[in-house]
Structure 1
Amino acid sequence: MSADRTTAWQHRLYFVLLGLTDVDLRDAGVRFDYTRGSLGDLEGAVLDRFASTGDLARPGRRDLVDGLVAYVGETLMRAAGGRWTWADDADTPLVSADPELGLAPVAPRSLLEDAVGARTGDRLVRALDRWARAVADHQARTPGWRPDKERTMADPPESREDELRDWLDLQAGSFDEWVASFGGDTTWDFTPGTLPAVQAVLRAAVSSAAGLHGPEHLRLRDGAAWYVGETFRRNLGGAWVKTGAAGTQNFPRVEGLGPHGTSRVTPVIALEGALEEDGYLSERFRKAGTSLRGRNG
């Protein structure tokens, strides 16, 4: 039961934090960067909004309180590592620091209640400082050690620069072979006029978007994706990017496209569109070249 509640909480993290930063405390003057200073500013905003601990349980405050719990917990874990947990008899989630520190789990909701009750403006910072001191003490005994934090939906995507570089080098180095296998009589010169030829190549070999990802078509798919991405990049600016984001198809994409640098394309996803819609790649290129807003796919 506690594992299920932990999983459900982790699925909500991104959304409650977004509500906190972009709605509930958008104008509170807090810089939400998970630093010690942000906790001090956050506590001031909490004291402005809650006159007593009972106010934390008032109807209509749940999303705000959950956002505060999420932010406090994530800030503690950025200092001392660890993970979210949920005790069987608890009503709110706990954060546990890296186990090597030997720290007892903390309930961020209890820290908020303490802050509202004490009204000293320093309770959240004091909690963070306790964890930071434990890390410093352990590092003094074990040089080079760093606390390990479980990744959550609150963490930014991890860069995959080495993986991206290897993939780009592989596709560029093997593109002549791709042309010999799939390219026919087309002059593959990275101009927008060749995008319909990519669509024709795909449709000659693959009957559906789902089939594109079969192991027998990976060479076709990746070579075509690289060519499409390079065609967009060379003509519309931008740069290749690859990040690790849990729960998403982790394909390389090109960002910063168009006259305002606000559009992007994930070529593999664009290939899916080309299999389903005539002229998709050319239309996608046209929109990327004129768009004022970012778009994926």
Structure 2
Amino acid sequence: MSAIYHTSDWPRDSARLADRLVAELPSELRLDFTGASLERLEAELLRRFSDPAELTSAEARPFYESVCAYFGEVMVRYGGSWGWSTKWDDTDPPVVMPDEDVDLEPLSTWEVVIRAVRDRGGKEFITVWELWDDAETDQIDRAIEEAEDAEWDRDIEEWESED
């Protein structure tokens, strides 16, 4: 793994790598940090690489790191934060940590990128994003329901106290 993983500056480094990727790739890919842009990025990744082993070559590593950073930045901007795995050792890259109220495991964008190149289905990034989107939506729905229940309980208490 690159030394970039072992810095306390990872969120800033990640944003820098993601921005560099956006600047270096053709504008028609429309990398705009949305879930939809992940499909376009995965297609570009699969166009460039056919074997996960290629990702760690000296020539490919900067692109690989930038793709992982961009993917992570999309996830973080949607809901989550960069962090370190609880089983961290000196070779583990950072992971995207879901919001506390969301029932998801930490996400290793590095593992997803490798899986995408290995499996070549073209839907790995968007599938992960949709899983996170569904979990975030469920959490929002639960929060709304809890707020409505609390309001209903207050209304009942007020009504009962009037009697």
Q: Distance in 2 between matches of 1:11 and 1:142?
A: 31
> How far does residue 102 in structure 1 lie from its aligned partner after superposition?
2.6
**Residue of structure 1 equivalent to 2:126:** 125
Q: Distance in 1 between matches of 2:64 and 2:94?
A: 12
Whether the 8 Å contact between 2:98 and 2:104 is mirrored in structure 1 is: yes
CA RMSD in angstroms, aligned pairs only:
2.0
Q: How far does the alpha carbon of each residue in 1:10-62 deviate from its partner, in whole angstroms, 9 at most, with x for none? A: 23223312321112x2x273111121210110100000111111011111222
Whether the 8 Å contact between 2:15 and 2:70 is mirrored in structure 1 is: no
Matches within 5 A, 1:14-93: 14-23=15-24, 25=25, 27=26, 29-79=28-78, 81-87=79-85, 88-89=88-89, 90-93=91-94
Instruction: Give secondary structure in 2 for the equivalent of 1:7.
Output: coil
Whether the 8 Å contact between 1:6 and 1:86 is mirrored in structure 2 is: no
Whether the 8 Å contact between 1:111 and 1:123 is mirrored in structure 2 is: yes
Relative contact order, higher structure (CA 8 A, sep 6+):
2
Matches within 5 A, 1:243-258: none
- Percent of aligned pairs with the same amino acid: 29
Number of equivalences:
139
Q: Distance in 2 between matches of 1:28 and 1:68?
A: 15
Q: Which 4+ runs in 1 deviate beyond 6 A?
A: none
Give the TM-score, by structure 2 length.
0.77
Q: Distance in 2 between matches of 1:8 and 1:134?
A: 28
Q: Distance in 1 between matches of 2:143 and 2:52?
A: 40
> How far does residue 97 in structure 1 lie from its aligned partner after superposition?
1.1
Q: Could you list the runs of 5+ residues in structure 1 that have no partner in the other structure?
A: 146-297
> How far does residue 144 in structure 1 lie from its aligned partner after superposition?
8.8
Q: Could you list the runs of 5+ residues in structure 2 that have no partner in the other structure?
A: 147-163
Whether the 8 Å contact between 1:6 and 1:93 is mirrored in structure 2 is: no
Instruction: Give secondary structure in 1 for the equivalent of 2:101.
Output: helix
Q: CA 1:18/1:139 → structure 2, altered by over 3 Å: closer, same or farther?
A: closer
Give the TM-score, by structure 1 length.
0.44
Whether the 8 Å contact between 1:6 and 1:84 is mirrored in structure 2 is: no
| Structure (1 or 2) with the greater helix fraction | 2
Q: How far does the alpha carbon of each residue in 1:130-168 deviate from its partner, in whole angstroms, 9 at most, with x for none? A: 0111111111111199xxxxxxxxxxxxxxxxxxxxxxx
Instruction: Give secondary structure in 2 for the equivalent of 1:95.
Output: strand
Q: Distance in 1 between matches of 2:7 and 2:139?
A: 28
The one-letter code of the counterpart of 1:95 is V
Q: Distance in 2 between matches of 1:30 and 1:92?
A: 26
**Residue of structure 2 equivalent to 1:213:** none
Q: Distance in 1 between matches of 2:104 and 2:7?
A: 19
The one-letter code of the counterpart of 1:86 is W
